[in-house]
Structure formats: structure tokens, C-alpha cells
């Protein structure tokens, strides 16, 4: 159906994408563990796979997209106990905050958004299959663990053998594990854990391990073999490696055809981390920058590449986005249907088909904006808006975006414009210039024309860099 090529982490190659079922794509992305507010690393991952989702649909595929929610895990239990609330109260609160953040960033709603706690029976079924096949064992601690060395293909996603992975281990064998690489499938209940963190099982009361949750949810909603599995690069090992071991061990056939991983978000060259004190929540950043500018900032780097987070880079992205909106403000866009075989649309498609090369696609938008500014074509403006929509940008009213931002409100700006007009009428040009300069210092650019004076926010105040 398309000429799309995707870099497959499993094969370490850029390869043509062929879905298992022609015309349909089944895709799973590891979602958020909802014990706290989402951070900018979460924004990076979810915008990356939102673009994948949007481009697959724009390419004509019927996409079944699952993005899960981990709503039971050690950190969730601890945080709920610390705050003196139930696990459900905590997770509902954090899910609502996540949805607000994602909406602000223009992240589309997936086809399914399962909560792990709704799929415990499916997890128990997979664990039972693994035990029957000798790939899982009930330890003296009460936990049920996966016997990694009994799965022949372990390490194929990370590209390392169990012995190589073992060489990097610094964890002593404890909790009844036969090997440090073994991982927990079912955690035995602890006395001090709340009742809502405990489920009945053939191995006693307990709760699922993190890795088994994704195997159960993905297979329940997409089938035992599906097209694309995505997540952050930090999930490649051990989480995704363990998903493969569980799913292929239980079902006896390949699990996922294409594995995709996005690059890290760095701050001053280092991975964002609470321990390094360079940690930013999405809500923090939304207080200073609008969601579309944040999204545009992230689209400027291809999803597999690491990139650096800074206010300067965000300011630059916002300024660049204003250039595109200025073109749409100059020429009202016509409604157009995208012809992917022609001109700018074909160039945009070629970039996106090259492993979702968003920087290349944005370059096409800027070429098109230059053409709009030069030729004043409503059709070109319509194509600019339509192609931007494929990436989840340029869908606001241009004037609303250009006039948005912190600082003077609209009424105050209009009052200053009126005062300037009065000064000019009185031939007090010094006062009129003073008002213009004062507005410029506040990041407000005036545009005089025969129809009157309009204004936009430049996003740059006196003393700041563009």
C-alpha cells in the first residue's frame, strides 16, 4: 500500500513495512506508569508514536493502536500509601492529568487505552502456560519467576547473549531467583500492602510483575502476533526483551514483526533524570510554552535521534512555527485534498516514508510557506495547512496563534493601538513611536496597512534572543 520503510530494532535494519494483514496495522506502545505527573521524556515518546499513528492513517491504513496504562506497580503502591489515598484514587488522578497534558500537546487518543488491572486473568493465563512449558517456576519466596536461560532466543532484541547480559549484572541472586537474569512474573503479596494490590492466583495472593502486563494487554487486544511495538530506547532491555521471552515462550511463535524505539530527551547533553536535577514535567513546561510549540520543537528531530531540551531551543521552535502561521495569516487557506503524487506533497511523503523523517517533512512545509508568501496562492496555503495537520500542527486560526502568549492581554494591546492612533491624528509622532517601541519591547509587533493596524506576538521581548 505504501513505500514506507521503518528501522526495525530487532533486525537492526531499515526495511520496507509490510503489515501482517494487508491494509490493516496493529500497533502497541508502552504507556505511562501513573504514579506521578508525566515528564518531558513521556512527551518525547508519545509525540513520536503519535506521528507514527497519524502517518499510518494518512497512508491509508486501518490502524488499531493500543497504548496501555500501568496502574499497579511498586511506585504506585508506595505513592498511594505516602499520600494516604487509595491506589485507584491516585491512578485516576494521574490519568486525568496525563490526558490534560497529552491533549495540550495534540496527542491523539489511541484506539484502546487498557489499564493493567483489568487484564489480570489474561496475565495469569500466560504465566500458567509458561509454567507448564518449564519456562517459569514458583520460588520459595512465593514469587513466580521466568527462567531466562530456558528460552533459547533471549537477548535477540538487545543483541546480547544471556552470558553477555549476565556479565553486566551487579545484583546478587535473591528472592528465590535461580539466576540474576530471571525476572518476576507474579509477585507474592506482602503483609503491609493494601488489599487492592492483591489478586488471587494458583500461586497464592499477589500481583503481576511489570513485564507480563504488556504481554497480556497487547495479545488480548491485538492478537498473539502483531505488526509494530514501540517505546523509549530505555525499554529495549529488559522490558521489551522480557516481553518477547514471555509471549513467544507462551505461544510458540514470533510476537512482533517491527520493534521501534525513540531516542532519549537530554538536558545539557545528559539524559533527563530526577537524580541529576534536570527533570521537567509537561505541566511545568506548559506554564511557559504553548503545547503546539512544544510539539513542533520535538518534530524538528527524527524520532530515533537523541536531542537536547532547552528554553532556547523551544523559543527557536516557537519562532519557526510563527513563520508558518504568518504565511497562513497572510493568505486564507483553501480547502484542498492532498495529492501525494504531486510537488510538495510528494516530497513530504518521501520524507515521512523514510522512517518518519519529520525534519525532512517540516523542511517541505517551510518551502511551501515561502511559496505562499511569494505567490499568495490560497491553494498552496491550503496544502500547507493540510500537510501540517498530518503532523498535528497548523490547525489553529492563524491570528489566534500569532496573538497568543503571556504578557499584555488583548484589551490592553488594543487600547495601546488606539492611543497610538490618537497620537498620530494629533501629529504627536514622538508619542506614537514611543507606544510602538513599548509594545515591541513586550513582544508585540504592529503592522500598519490601509485597513488599519493589526498586531502579532513575536514571542521575543526586549533583552531576549529570538
Domain ranges (residues) in the chain: 5-262, 267-402, 410-457
Residue pLDDT, tens place only, 88-124: 999 999 999 999 999 999 999 999 999 999 999 999 9
Least confident of 31-40, 286-295, 326-335, 409-418: 409-418
239 assigned binding-site residue: yes
274 assigned binding-site residue: yes
**Of the candidates 29, 35, 414, the residue with the CA atom closest to the CA atom of residue 239:** 29
Distance CA 408, CA 414 (A): 10
The CATH classification of domain 267-402, taken from the options 1.10.287.1080, 1.20.120.640, 1.10.10.10, 1.10.8.80: 1.20.120.640
**Of the candidates 461, 448, 353, the residue with the CA atom closest to the CA atom of residue 408:** 461
How far apart, in Å, are the Cα atoms of 199 and each of 114, 148, 203, 327? Answer: 18, 25, 10, 58
Confidence band (pLDDT; 50, 70, 90) for 174?
low
pTM over 0.95: no
Do the domains spanning 5-262 and 267-402 agree at the CATH topology level? no
**Strands, sheet with 226-232, edge to edge from the N-terminal-most edge strand:** 62-70, 24-33, 226-232, 256-262
**Of the candidates 357, 352, 380, the residue with the CA atom closest to the CA atom of residue 61:** 352
Cβ pair 208, 217 in contact under 8 A: no
Average pLDDT, integer, range 27-41? 96
**CATH number at 5-262:** 3.40.50.620
**Which residue do the cell numbers 500569532 mark?**
402
Provide, rounded to the nearest whole percent, the portion of the chain with pLDDT above 90. 77
Using alpha carbons only, give the angle 216, 218, 221 rounded to the nearest 5 degrees: 100
Cell numbers linked to 386: 493540510
Three-class SS of residue 259?
A: strand
Distance CA 323, CA 385 (A): 13
292 assigned binding-site residue: no
Residue 263 has what DSSP assignment? P
Cβ pair 351, 300 in contact under 8 A: no
Distance CA 85, CA 52 (A): 37
pLDDT value at 187 more than 80: yes
Three-class SS of residue 198?
A: coil
pLDDT value at 167 more than 60: no
Exposure of 385 in the CB half-sphere (CA atoms within 13 A): 23
Phi then psi for residue 275, to 5 deg, are -65, -25
* CB atoms near residue 204 (< 10 Å): 14
Amino acid at each position: 500500500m505504501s513505500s514506507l520503510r521503518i528501522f526495525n530494532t530487532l533486525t537492526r535494519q531499515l526495511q520496507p513495512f509490510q503489515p501482517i494483514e494487508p491494509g490493516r496495522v496493529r500497533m502497541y506502545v508502552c504507556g505511562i506508569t501513573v504514579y506521578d505527573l508525566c515528564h518531558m521524556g513521556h512527551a518525547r515518546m508519545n509525540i513520536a508514536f503519535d506521528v507514527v499513528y497519524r502517518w499510518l492513517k494518512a497512508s491509508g491504513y486501518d490502524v488499531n493502536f493500543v497504548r496501555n496504562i500501568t496502574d499497579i506497580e511498586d511506585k504506585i503502591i508506595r505513592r498511594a500509601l505516602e499520600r494516604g489515598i487509595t491506589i485507584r484514587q491516585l491512578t485516576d488522578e494521574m490519568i486525568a492529568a496525563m490526558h490534560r497534558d497529552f491533549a495540550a500537546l495534540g496527542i491523539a487518543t489511541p484506539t484502546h487505552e487498557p489499564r493493567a488491572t483489568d487484564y489480570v486473568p489474561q496475565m495469569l493465563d500466560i504465566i500458567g502456560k509458561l509454567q507448564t512449558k518449564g519456562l517459569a517456576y514458583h520460588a520459595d519466596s512465593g514469587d513466580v519467576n521466568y527462567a531466562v536461560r530456558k528460552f533459547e532466543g533471549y537477548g535477540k532484541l538487545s543483541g546480547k547473549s544471556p552470558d553477555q547480559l549476565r556479565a553486566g549484572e551487579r545484583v546478587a541472586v535473591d528472592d528465590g531467583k535461580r539466576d540474576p537474569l530471571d525476572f518476576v512474573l507474579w509477585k507474592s503479596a506482602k503483609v503491609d500492602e493494601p488489599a487492592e494490590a492483591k489478586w488471587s492466583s494458583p500461586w497464592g495472593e499477589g500481583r503481576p510483575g511489570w513485564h507480563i502486563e504488556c504481554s497480556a494487554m497487547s495479545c488480548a487486544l491485538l492478537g498473539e502476533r502483531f505488526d509494530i511495538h514501540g517505546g523509549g530506547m530505555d525499554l529495549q532491555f529488559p522490558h521489551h526483551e522480557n516481553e518477547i521471552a514471555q509471549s513467544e515462550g507462551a505461544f510458540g511463535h514470533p510476537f512482533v514483526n517491527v520493534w521501534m524505539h525513540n531516542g532519549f530527551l537530554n538536558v545539557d547533553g545528559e539524559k533527563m533524570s530526577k537524580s541529576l536535577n534536570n527533570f521537567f514535567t509537561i505541566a511545568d513546561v506548559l506554564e511557559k510554552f504553548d503545547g503546539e510549540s512544544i510539539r513542533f520543537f520535538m518534530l524538528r528531530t527524527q524520532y530515533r535521534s537523541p536531542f537536547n531540551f532547552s528554553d532556547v531551543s523551544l523559543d527557536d521552535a516557537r519562532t519557526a512555527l510563527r513563520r508558518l502561521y504568518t504565511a497562513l495569516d497572510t493568505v486564507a487557506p483553501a480547502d484542498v485534498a492532498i495529492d501525494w503524487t504531486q510537488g510538495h506533497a510528494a516530497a513530504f511523503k518521501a520524507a515521512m516514508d523514510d522512517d518518519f523523517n519529520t525534519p525532512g517533512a517540516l523542511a517541505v512545509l517551510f518551502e511551501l510557506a515561502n511559496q505562499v508568501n511569494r505567490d499568495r496562492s490560497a491553494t498552496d496555503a491550503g496544502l500547507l495547512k493540510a500537510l501540517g495537520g498530518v503532523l498535528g500542527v497548523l490547525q489553529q486560526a492563524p491570528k489566534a496563534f500569532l496573538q497568543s502568549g503571556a504578557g499584555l492581554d488583548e484589551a490592553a494591546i488594543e487600547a495601546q493601538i488606539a492611543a497610538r492612533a490618537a497620537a498620530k491624528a494629533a501629529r504627536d509622532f514622538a508619542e506614537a513611536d514611543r507606544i510602538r517601541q513599548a509594545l515591541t519591547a513586550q513582544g508585540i509587533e504592529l503592522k500598519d496597512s490601509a485597513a488599519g493596524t493589526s498586531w502579532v506576538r513575536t514571542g521575543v521581548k526586549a533583552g531576549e534572543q529570538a
